[in-house]
Structures are given as C-alpha cells and as structure tokens.
Amino acid sequence: MDQKPLEPAPLDASLDRPVEPELAEEAELAEEAEAVTVDPLQAVRAELAQLHARGTSGAGWFFWIAALSLINSVILLSGGDTHFVVGLGVTLIADVIASGIAEQNPEIAGVAKGIAFGFDLFVAAIVCLFGWLSRRPVLPIFALGMILYLLDGLIYVLAGQWMSVGFHAFVLLGMWNGFTAYRQMKAMKAALEQQLAAGLAPGV
C-alpha cells in the first residue's frame, strides 16, 4: 500500500510579521512610565541616605581623634617620643608636663602621670560625647566641636609642628563636609514634612 509523503507544516506567518512601529513605541513608553511610577520618592530616599552617610563619616572623626589622642598619651607617658599628628594638642601638653615632672621628681612620677592620664581620659570622653551627639545629629554641638578642634590646632601652630597643623586642617575639612551634609539632610526633611502636612507629598 503506497504511503503519501508528509507535507511540511506551514510556518506561522505571525512570526515573520514585523512589529508595527506604533505598538513598539507604545510598549516602550509604557515601560518607561512604569519605571518612573514604581517609586516616585526613590531619588529622595537615595539622596537622604547619601547625605546621612556623609554626615556620619564627618562626625566619626571625633572618635578617631579621641582614640589617637589616648594612644599618644600612652606612648608619651611610657617614655616614647612619637605621636600621631591627628591627636589633640591639649592632651599632648598635659602629657609633656607630666613627663617633665616625673623626670625631675621620680618620687611623684606615678602620681603626675596618673593625673595626666586621668585628664586625657576625661578629654577623650568629652570628644566621644561630641561625636555621639553630632551623629544624632545635633548641629550646634557639631559646630562647637569643630571650633574647639580648630582652637586645639593653634597649639601646634604656636609649637611650629606644621604636619600636625596640616592634619588638623584635613580633619576639619572632613568634619565640615559631614556638617554640611547633615544640614542639607535636615533641611530636606523639614521641607518634606511641610509638604506632608499640607498633603502635597506622601511620606518618605
């Protein structure tokens, strides 16, 4: 019995049919509209997060100053003659005075160095408090901390230690960047709260 050869199935003509330009353009516009309307406040949130990160980084310098100043104190009170240039000048003065007293009066060396190190701990705690409040952020405290660190840098100017002066300026620049970022962040939040109260913007 003869078998008829199988005829190939016809191809779907829709596969070769070109997409109409109008439909392609409408689909592209719909995708763009969907991408824009997914989260209208995404850019605002991203900017706020970036400003917060900059502020946190700037305020973090207070903790570095406190830590490095204590390390300087341990080195100097232990008989060393080196120190970190970012450390505080006021604690350096206390340590140098205590070391001089200890050298001239060995019988009270422990007392003099103990008093100096207690003073150093107190100053470091105050600096850490400035850092903690600056990250809240309490901008007046942040500004006051920068002013005090600027005044501390004048000690190195009088002593002619220009490398320490340069690092004080570098740290102050980092603090200022953090301060301005926090200020912009608070201004943006205040404006958004006003718009929210007026019913002009959804909550961030």
Q: Give the model confidence (pLDDT) of 94-138 as tens digits.
A: 999 999 999 999 999 999 999 999 999 999 999 999 999 999 999
| Confidence bin at 200 (pLDDT 50/70/90) | low
Q: Where do the H-state alpha helices sit in the chain?
A: 13-16, 21-37, 42-59, 61-77, 89-104, 109-134, 139-159, 162-197
Q: Which of 25-34, 73-82, 98-107, 173-182 has the lowest average pLDDT? A: 25-34
List the one residue out of 162, 158, 168, 143 whose CA is nearest residue 88: 168
Q: What is the pLDDT of residue 34?
A: 52
Rounded CA separation 182/169 (Å): 20
pTM of the model: 0.76
Cα 26 to Cα 18, 30, 54: the distances in Å are 15, 6, 41
